[in-house]
Homo-oligomer: A and B are copies of this chain.
Amino acid sequence: MQFQLTKEFIDQLKDRVASEDSAWIHKNVLELHHADIADVLDELSHEEAKHVYYLSSEELQADILMDLQEENRDRLIESLSTKELADQIENLDSDDAADILGELPEDKIQEVISQMQDDAAAEDIIDLLNYDEDIAGGLMQKEFLKVELDWPVNRALRQLRRQAEDVERVYNIFVTDAEEHLLGVLSLKRLLIANSTTKIAELYNSKNIISVKTSETPEQVAVLMEKYDLVTVPVVDYQNKLVGRITLDDVMDYLKEEVDKDFQLATGISEPMQSDASIWAIAKARLPWLIIGLAGGILGAKVISGFELSIASIPELAFFIPLITAMGGNVGVQSSAIVVQSLARGEQQIGGILSKIWKETLVGIVNGILLSLLIFGIATVFGGIELGLVVSISLFTVIIVAAIFGTFIPLILNKYKVDPALATGPFITTMNDVVGLFIYFSIGLLIFSLMA
């Protein structure tokens, strides 16, 4: 029964939009789930999308808006009047409303808020706009259910009915004292089972309450929610007063962006790209990493040119250049990936940097010995026992150096608040190339002159 987006459907819709066939659009588009409608609109031109958008109900418009791709959403918002935007904002959850308003210039924000009918909603949004996007306060929403400790169940239910009108999805209920200090959590299940005169104080759970402060990072919130299997977490201020809640889907969206960003750093793409971006935009986003690679290659050329005479007399030395650089790169990426992953998981670094480096060095020694023995025989076939010795000794050295660099660099980047995922990308392979070449040719020069 699930909707499948096809090219035929889009083509047909474009025709219907051109012929202003509202009945067809209502029946075939606006009955869909809002996430599907947004997917459909993302495939239309701006004018066509606007046409369909204005045919939908006000509430549906707000939902569609949140599900559109960012650039399409921005363009649509620009074309709305201040009043229209204010109406949309009122239909959104406070966190989504604040996200949308936060992108607008200061004076436009003021204008939109002044046009809102619901003063309480406006106040919530103004409050949320105070928080940075990248802290818990910027992720939270003001819609949540709350009961006080000394209420009986029937009063709590009455209050909850009123509160529930604003809360789109109910997962659990926060318990506070009369001054809004967070005291615990009450599951809907317990409330459903309880007697109507029982006091909340007898029902709620006050043990091991997990909450986050407004100033915590989204990573900290995500680690917490995952560890404690939470669908929603209460947000408190410095006095432990309840100010909002964060739901798992918001954190998931944030995390997904982070994972994408890490992946992009690891694979050398400097910024996230829509798959329909222009050729030039895509090319530009990749260029910085390629230029780093080029610079590394030029440095490598400089290193090798320093050994030009050796190559002229022993051209076999050149055979194993790609092997040395590739292995240095592979080992370095493996080590750095492990560190980056454990940092991203928020693992406590018991034992500190030195013990990690020592462990990676040991792993390097084990693999280095195995691979060096393997390559010794093969390189000897290619160019005699001298070449065998040169390649195997340098491979062993390069593997250990790469393992140490691969561990060290992301940890250092992390210490100085740079995203450590940077180190899994072209950065570390480039560096290892240059260092590896230097090691290889130095050892080559040494061994061939010793054995000559």
Contacts and interface: CB of A to CB of B under 8 A. Distances in A.
Contacts of A430: 326
A228 interface: yes
14 contacts: A33-B208, A35-B229, A248-B249, A263-B337, A263-B341, A287-B370, A293-B327, A294-B375, A297-B323, A297-B327, A300-B326, A322-B325, A322-B433, A326-B430
Contact of A322 (B187, B268, B321): B321
Interface stretch (A18-26, A45-53, A310-318): A310-318
A371 B290 contact: yes
B266 A263 contact: yes
A91 interface: no
Given A268-B334, A296-B326, 5 more contacts: A161-B192, A286-B363, A294-B323, A300-B319, A301-B322
Given A161-B192, A294-B375, A370-B287, A315 B323 contact: no
A343 to B, nearest CB: 11
Given A210-B2, A300-B322, A301-B322, A334 B267 contact: yes
Nearest to A374: B294
A165 B208 CA distance: 22
A321 B323 contact: no
A32 interface: yes
A429 B430 CA distance: 13
The interface centre, meaning the residue of A31, A193, A296, A318 with most chain B CB atoms within 10 A of its CB, is A318
**Which size bracket describes the interface of A in this complex?**
35 or more
A259 to B, nearest CB: 6
Interface string A1-40: 1100101000000000000000000000001110100000
Pick from A311, A323, A348, A362 the residue with the most CB of B within 10 Å. Answer: A323
Interface of A: 1-2, 5, 7, 31-33, 35, 157, 160-161, 164-165, 167-171, 187-189, 192-193, 207-210, 224, 226-229, 231, 248-249, 252, 256, 259-260, 262-264, 266-269, 273, 275, 279-280, 282-283, 286-287, 289-291, 293-294, 296-298, 300-301, 304-305, 308, 311-312, 315-327, 329-331, 333-334, 336-338, 341-342, 347-348, 350, 359, 362-363, 366-367, 370-371, 374-375, 378-379, 382, 424, 426, 429-430, 433, 437
Contact of A170 (B188, B248, B287, B308): B188
A59 to B, nearest CB: 13
A106 B248 CA distance: 37
Given A316-B305, A321-B318, A366 B268 contact: no
A249 to B, nearest CB: 5
A281 B228 CA distance: 29
10 closest A-B pairs by CB: A297-B323, A267-B337, A300-B322, A301-B319, A318-B318, A283-B366, A33-B208, A311-B315, A164-B189, A312-B315
A343 B231 CA distance: 27
A366 B207 CA distance: 60
A359 B279 contact: yes
A1 B216 CA distance: 14
Given A192-B161, A231-B248, A329-B429, A304 B319 contact: yes
A149 to B, nearest CB: 18
A300 B275 contact: no
A264 B337 contact: yes
